[in-house]
Amino acid sequence: YFVYVVSGVKSVSHDLEQLNRLLHIARSLIQNPFLCLGSYVRSLIASVMYCALEPLAASINPLNDHWTLRDYAAMLLSRIFWTHGDLVSGLYHQILLSLQKVLADPVRPLCSHYGAVVGLHALGWK
């Protein structure tokens, strides 16, 4: 149920506070040793990557600090991979291809490129 809630990030892309709360719920799910996320890892990855890579509706307003949200999403992406990456085969390559695709697209806005760069940085140099 909570993974379904977190996967609703697209419906609140205009509200940075709600997105931040959803990412904190995702972090709580990941850190809970009593939950077996199994097949839900891909849904969490998709939601977190959405926050890191997509040009959010809230990023239109220059007063909104969507950069911090992207930093947190990148850190969370790394944590998901390092703690649950063994549950899903090919997860590492899927993440890398998504980040690479955003970086290679010259039409994407700066905030999307920034999310891809901090995502790669959070995954580590290997």
Helices H, strands E: what count in the chain?
A: 6, 0
Q: Are 49 and 73 in contact (CB under 8 A)?
A: yes
Per-residue pLDDT averaged across 38-61, rounded? 81
pLDDT at 113 over 90: yes
Containing domain of residue 24, as a range? 1-123
CATH number of the structural domain spanning residue 92:
1.25.40.770
The pTM of the full predicted model, rounded to 2 decimals, is 0.87
- How many folded domains does the chain comprise? 1
pLDDT, one tens digit per residue, over 50-96 is 889 988 766 666 667 888 999 999 999 999 888 887 767 788 888 89
